Amino acid sequence: MATLTMAKALNEGLRSAMERDPKVLIMGEDVGRLGGVFRVTDGLQKDFGEDRVIDTPLAESGIIGTAVGLAIRGFRPVCEIQFDGFVFPAFDQIVSQVARMHYRSAGHVKMPLTIRIPYGGGIGAVEHHSESPETYFAHTAGLKVLTCSHPADAFTMIQPAIACDDPIVFFEPKRRYWDKADVDPDVAASASCWSAEVAREGTTATLITYGPSVRTCLDAAAAAESDGQDLEVVDLRALSPIDWETVFASVRKTQHAVVVSEAPLFASLAAEIAARITEHCFYSLEAPVLRVGGASTPYPASRVEEDFLPDLDRVLDAVDRALGW
Amino acid sequence: MTEALLPQPSEGPDFVQLLTPEGERVEHPDYSLDVTDDEVRGLYRDLVLVRRIDTEATALQRQGELGLWASLLGQEAAQVGAGRSLSEGDFAFPTYREHGVAYCKGVDPVTLLGLFRGTSQGGWDPQDHGFALYTIVIGSQTLHATGYAMGMQRDGGSGAVMAFFGDGASSQGDVNEAFVWASVFNAPVVFFCQNNQWAISEPLEKQTRIPLYQRAQGFGFPGVRVDGNDVLAVLAVTRAALARARDGDGPLLIEAYTYRMGAHTTSDDPTRYRLAAELETWKLKDPIERVKAYLSRRGAGDAEFFAAVDAESDALAAHVRAGCLALPDPDPLTMFDHVYAGGSSLLDEEREQMSTYLASFAEAAR
């Protein structure tokens, strides 16, 4: 048991994966000598060499496209996209090649890529450094999408993600990189990354969320206690496929559901979650499924981002509306 | 203006030619090729068979048996020359037009047809013949080829990789990124650009203001322009490039100067954008006729030999036709197969729903 930041927990998870399987490679911009702009790959090049921790030219399509070739050759590349907003030059390779190679080859070619993307806002950054593009990838058949919300999950989820024979887009909530928590290395071996977790048990209403918004929702639930509300928080962890049974079981119990994410709500994962809950829990619901998320704007200038991002008050406002329906 | 910017290749060191359109054997200062008559007869046979595969597939499309076909007519020498230069340990990354390379790599042409008939999205195992899946998005495969070559560097592989693409693809970002990667990592990859002069309706001058092979220099590796209709020259240049790559000397760009004698695909109508006279000019440079002339002149191919090759090509065409017609329509539920290696709860649910829905018609019909 050790107390680690999320960045360090990911670093340890990557190290374990590399020690376990010599075919695991890390590639991306600044991942080697610098150790990544968030230091997630710190020290790995020094220990595993330049052939396994590859500082790449500065071109995202090239990172993913060459990783496809390496995967065909039998390697297991872990690609870092430096920031969420820089994934789009690689979008074509991800959507048209990575996601489809196994299908196109009728199962002959596996694509065991892990594409790590620091995502989300709240760090006062310039444009293209605060996006939440997870819906694009969850929408794409052939990809699986994961996101962690705390250091222990970061450590335990990154390893099965790398070991998985399917391509995984692994979203890391960058404003939580420096959150600290206890991490038990022994848990990792048996951990599943495909199940949702009830991060807080409650009875009044369910907050369904993931990634950076999990802590927001836990804070909101703690604050709501003084109002006599006992909120349940479900951390999805897997965004594609989603562990619906955990979600539905919670909503059937609390009869109220609020979905929280930083992404703009229109045609979003939150929309899909709301639709599914409505379809499967219709007779349990006391109120429509409500959603709290980013505005349908480009990510705004950082001085107003706190008004864009779901915060404790907006979450609780939605809970009040649901309970008062 | 265009003429000056895009000089037509002429005899000289910038244009590797070993067999003229008239079938005359010529020498090049940098590239030589020792071939026996037997080997040339073998190449002639390859060229004829590859063209026959192509014409049969075009006919199958016209008869409604294929949804689409991308013809390689006119590019047989470029593909056979490159294809025959590849050794067993080498790996080819094709576009969707490399039927001749597939043939050289030992892929049954029927295997290619599922994609064009609509019974699969490809479906072959690249490891079977060292031949990757057809890639339809223009240029994407050049990065895959480069990554594969980087993998060979890392696992001690002794082979090299050949990335196929065209003049249109040379404008794609992925191709240029592949050049950067290959150069920086000194990857054992040969970039084989078939400049067939047309990207659907867009002529070469819409893609470049310099000869394509000269682009390599800016990326830090050599470029060579070869007569793409001369199978001997292509064989010599690709062999040398692969040997160089295997020896650890890094990438090389080959511009095979050729001509797409047919339409882009069976859906295209080239009479809307190019003159018939251009095609007539290129017919005089036909890749097969020059080899036939060479063999005839040397007395290395007689009527009996040519007739035997023709008969063999007819048999191959019959095999292609029979194989095409025998490709079964897949069961609808197979659309859910192989989306993931490890399965997906979402797909399990949707497959079940479709199965139940389809079964309801069988119930109703009972």
Reply yes or no on whether the pLDDT at B347 is more than 90.
Answer: yes
User: Residue B73 corresponds to which tokens in the numbers above?
Assistant: 């007519």
User: How close does chain A come to B340, measured CA to CA in Å?
Assistant: 6
Domain B2-330 = CATH 3.40.50.970:
yes
Which residues are B224's β-sheet partners? B254
Query: Which of A150, A166, A188 finishes a domain?
Result: A188
Q: Cα–Cα distance between B328 and B322 in angstroms, integer? A: 12
Cβ contacts of B122 on chain A, cutoff 8 Å? 104-106
> Residues B274, B275, B281, CA angle at the centre, nearest 5°?
115
Average pLDDT of the residues in A241-264: 98
Reply yes or no on whether the pLDDT at B309 is more than 50.
Answer: yes
Question: Number of Cβ pairs closer than 8 Å across A and B?
Answer: 146
Q: Cα–Cα distance between A211 and A196 in angstroms, integer? A: 12
Q: B175 or B6, which is more confident?
A: B175
Q: What is the pLDDT of residues B136-168, one digit of tens each?
A: 999 999 999 999 999 999 999 899 999 999 999
Closest among A25, A243, A20, A16 to A114, alpha carbons compared: A25
Q: What is the pLDDT of residues B254-299, one digit of tens each?
A: 999 999 999 999 999 999 999 999 999 999 999 999 999 999 999 9
A201, A301: one domain: yes
Cβ contacts of A59 on chain B, cutoff 8 Å? 173, 177, 180
Reply yes or no on whether the pLDDT at A97 is more than 50.
Answer: yes
Q: Is B340 a catalytic residue?
A: no
A218, A177: one domain: no
A212, A184: one domain: no
Q: What is the pLDDT of residues A237-250, one digit of tens each?
A: 999 999 999 999 99
CA separation (Å) from A91 to A60, A67, A99?
Answer: 9, 14, 11
A177, A256: one domain: no
Number of domain units in chain A = 2
Cβ contacts of A69 on chain B, cutoff 8 Å? 93, 143-151
Closest among A16, A10, A162 to A76, alpha carbons compared: A162
Query: Which of A159, A188, A217 finishes a domain?
Result: A188
- Please compute, for residue B144, the number of CA atoms within 13 A of its CA located in the half-sphere on the CB side: 32
- Please compute, for residue A252, the number of CA atoms within 13 A of its CA located in the half-sphere on the CB side: 11
Q: Is B144 a catalytic residue?
A: no
Average pLDDT of the residues in A100-105: 98
A240, A131: one domain: no
A18, A125: one domain: yes
Closest among A42, A48, A56, A57 to A21, alpha carbons compared: A48
A146, A237: one domain: no
A153, A210: one domain: no
Q: What is the pLDDT of residues A21-76, one digit of tens each?
A: 999 999 999 999 999 999 999 999 999 999 999 999 999 999 999 999 999 999 99
Chain B's closest residue to A142, CA to CA, is B339
B155-160: list long-range contacts, CB under 8 Å, 24+ apart: B155/A73, B155/A74, B155/A75, B157/A73, B157/B89, B158/B89, B158/B246, B159/B87, B159/B89, B159/B90, B159/B91, B159/B130, B159/B188, B159/B246, B160/B90, B160/B91, B160/B188, B160/B189, B160/B190, B160/B242, B160/B245, B160/B246
So what's the pLDDT on residue A187? 75
A87, A49: one domain: yes
So what's the pLDDT on residue A154? 97
Q: CB A66: neighbour CB atoms within 10 A?
A: 34
Closest CB from B177, B337, B342 relative to A166:
B342
Reply yes or no on whether the pLDDT at B324 is more than 90.
Answer: yes
Residue A290's domain comprises 197-323
Q: Where are the alpha helices (DSSP H) in A73-197?
A: 91-92, 101-104, 134-138, 151-163, 185-188
Q: Cα–Cα distance between B145 and A303 in angstroms, integer? A: 45
A113, A214: one domain: no
A203, A169: one domain: no
Q: Does pTM top 0.95 for this prediction? A: yes
Which residues are A182's β-sheet partners? A3
Query: Which of A148, A170, A188 finishes a domain?
Result: A188
Domain ranges of chain B: 2-330, 334-365
So what's the pLDDT on residue B366? 76
So what's the pLDDT on residue B3? 47
A31, A62: one domain: yes
Reply yes or no on whether the pLDDT at A190 is more than 70.
Answer: no
So what's the pLDDT on residue B2? 45
* Given B215, B225, B260, B351, the catalytic residue: B260
Reply yes or no on whether the pLDDT at A83 is more than 90.
Answer: yes
Let me know how long chain A is. Answer: 325
CB B133 within 8 A of CB B152: no
So what's the pLDDT on residue B228? 98
So what's the pLDDT on residue B364? 83
Q: Check which CATH number belongs to the domain holding A48 and give it.
A: 3.40.50.970
- Interface predicted TM-score of the whole assembly (ipTM), two decimals: 0.97
Average pLDDT of the residues in A149-161: 96
Q: What is the pLDDT of residues B9-41, one digit of tens each?
A: 655 568 999 999 999 999 999 999 999 999 999
Would you give the DSSP letter of residue B131?
B
* Given A102, A108, A129, A150, the catalytic residue: A129
